[in-house]
């Protein structure tokens, strides 16, 4: 039998009791013929607490130092789980990301995995041990510790499942699976039994934090089936995979929302070739992800250009954009952080008209103003006032009958 990879999120490991419960679950899944690798997140809110602590001492903590600090959260939980398993009579060993062979690039706080050397894990598994790996972290070419971005333990788990050629990667969390919308925002959201990689990727990328988007991307590229399920009960979860039937493909499958949005507007930009490139090239070089871009038609040769970035990047982005705006003789640069994205996702949308109109009507019925719009073949996203996000999710859930459809 192949190797099983399980990942447990922060709320699943929030206390000594929870760690004991996770250890019992790991032992129950560890059959003699199936080696097991367990990836863990930091306990409870540890990562948030460490960030707050750092910010009390430095406004913008140095990113190398911050990554080393944040990696300690996962190091704590992996050692505690391994100790618990050993105490329960099972041979187990904890490994940091570096010990598990996870090499990344050098971009702190959002590092990408460049390679995984599975030899240490394989050696420990061959010795009959349960291997517990600290998620969310790796090591770069300078032997410095990096982290993979918030929610990145999912990506550690799927990367290990891919390199170890696992039959399955199980993501254990605090909800029963992937729902039609965040069940904390829309109580009528329904659990999906299955979802395609491409739909899950769009949902995750546009805010459904139940899965880290890069984990879904890796799952898709390496064909790793992923099951998302609860560590608090035995209910079956949601299978994320490639082999969806035609029938279920033909619908809006879910709604994502994201409040981690900041908008930057460059006002009075001269409308001539090269301007967009002079703004966006330096942002790309600084590794700042620009999402929605809107440029108004120019009146008298000047225009306004707006784009969105993550709230964590807005200060850095402003520091890059302001001098360029002066150089190109734009009138001003302003930023706003009171916006949110709400998206509908479904492969069925790519050949059927009318979804955008239904989405805009649902929002206008609730008097929600749309600031910007962006689409992919299987997604429509609207930027709205952050204060209206719950209303928007609920309105769209109702408009697309996601509480009723047999998904």
**C-alpha span between 340 and 262 (Å, rounded):** 8
Tell the smallest beta-carbon distance from residue 106 to ligand ADP (Å).
Answer: 25
**C-alpha span between 24 and 234 (Å, rounded):** 13
Q: Considering CB under 6 A, how many residues would be counted as binding ligand ADP? A: 19
DSSP state of 241: E
* 61, 97, 118, 152: residue in contact with ligand ASP (rule CB under 6 A): 152
Tell the smallest beta-carbon distance from residue 173 to Mg ion (Å).
Answer: 7
Interface with Mg ion in residues 9-28 (CB under 5 A)? 9
Report the residue closest to ligand ADP, judged by CB: 9
* 125, 178, 252, 324: residue in contact with ligand ADP (rule CB under 6 A): 178
**C-alpha span between 75 and 117 (Å, rounded):** 19
Tell the smallest beta-carbon distance from residue 146 to ligand ADP (Å).
Answer: 19
Phi, psi of 382 (to 5 degrees): -120, 140
**C-alpha span between 388 and 383 (Å, rounded):** 11
Six-digit token string for 334: 């302003």
For ligand ASP, give the closer residue by CB, 8 or 307. 8
| Residues 338, 260 contacting (CB under 8 angstroms) | no
Q: Is 179 in the site for ligand ADP (CB under 6 A)?
A: yes
* 35, 73, 151, 225: residue in contact with Mg ion (rule CB under 5 A): 151
Six-digit token string for 125: 């598994």
* 5, 10, 175, 324: residue in contact with ligand ASP (rule CB under 6 A): 10
Task: Tabulate helix, strand, coil % of the chain (nearest 5).
Answer: 40, 25, 35
Binding segment toward ligand ASP, per CB under 6 A, in 146-154, 199-207, 219-227, 247-255:
146-154
Closest CA to 3 of 124, 230, 169, 226: 169
Interface with ligand ADP in residues 133-172 (CB under 6 A)? 151
Binding segment toward ligand ASP, per CB under 6 A, in 102-110, 149-157, 194-202, 368-376:
149-157
Q: Is 254 in the site for ligand ADP (CB under 6 A)?
A: yes
């Amino acid at each position: 039998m192949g190797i099983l990879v399980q990942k447990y999120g922060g709320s699943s490991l929030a206390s000594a009791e929870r760690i004991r419960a996770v250890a019992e679950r790991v032992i129950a899944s560890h059959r003699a013929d199936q080696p097991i690798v367990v990836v863990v997140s930091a306990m409870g809110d540890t990562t948030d607490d460490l960030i707050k602590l750092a910010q009390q001492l430095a406004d913008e903590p140095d990113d190398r130092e911050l990554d080393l600090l944040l990696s300690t959260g996962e190091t704590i939980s992996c050692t505690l789980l391994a100790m618990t398993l050993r105490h329960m009579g099972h041979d187990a060993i904890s490994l940091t990301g570096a010990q598990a062979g996870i090499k990344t690039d050098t971009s702190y706080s959002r590092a990408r995995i460049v390679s995984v050397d599975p030899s240490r894990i394989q050696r420990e598994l061959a010795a009959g041990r349960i291997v517990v790996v600290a998620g969310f972290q790796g090591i770069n070419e300078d032997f410095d510790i990096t982290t993979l971005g918030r929610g990145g333990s999912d990506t550690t788990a799927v990367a290990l499942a891919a390199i170890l050629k696992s039959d399955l990667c199980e993501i254990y969390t605090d909800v029963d699976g992937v729902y039609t919308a965040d069940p904390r925002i829309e109580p009528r959201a329904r659990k999906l039994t299955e979802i395609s990689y491409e739909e899950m990727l769009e949902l995750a990328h546009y805010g459904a934090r139940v899965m880290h988007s890069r984990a879904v991307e890796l799952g898709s590229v390496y064909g790793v089936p992923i099951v998302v399920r609860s560590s608090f009960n035995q209910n079956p979860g949601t299978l994320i995979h490639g082999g969806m039937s035609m029938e279920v493909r033909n619908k809006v499958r879910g709604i994502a929302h994201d409040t981690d949005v900041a908008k930057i507007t460059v006002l009075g930009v001269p409308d001539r070739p090269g301007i967009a490139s002079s703004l966006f090239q330096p942002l790309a070089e600084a590794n700042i992800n620009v999402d929605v871009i809107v440029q108004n038609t120019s009146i008298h040769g000047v225009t306004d250009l707006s784009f969105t970035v993550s709230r964590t990047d807005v200060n850095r982005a402003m520091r890059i954009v302001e001098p360029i705006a002066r150089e190109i003789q734009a009138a001003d640069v302003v930023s706003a952080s009171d916006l949110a994205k709400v998206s509908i996702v479904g492969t069925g949308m790519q050949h059927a008209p009318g979804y955008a109109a239904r989405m805009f009507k649902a929002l206008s019925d609730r008097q929600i103003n749309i600031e910007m719009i962006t689409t992919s073949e299987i997604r429509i996203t609207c930027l709205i006032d952050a204060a209206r996000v719950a209303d928007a999710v609920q309105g769209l859930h109702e408009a697309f009958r996601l509480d009723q459809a047999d998904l």
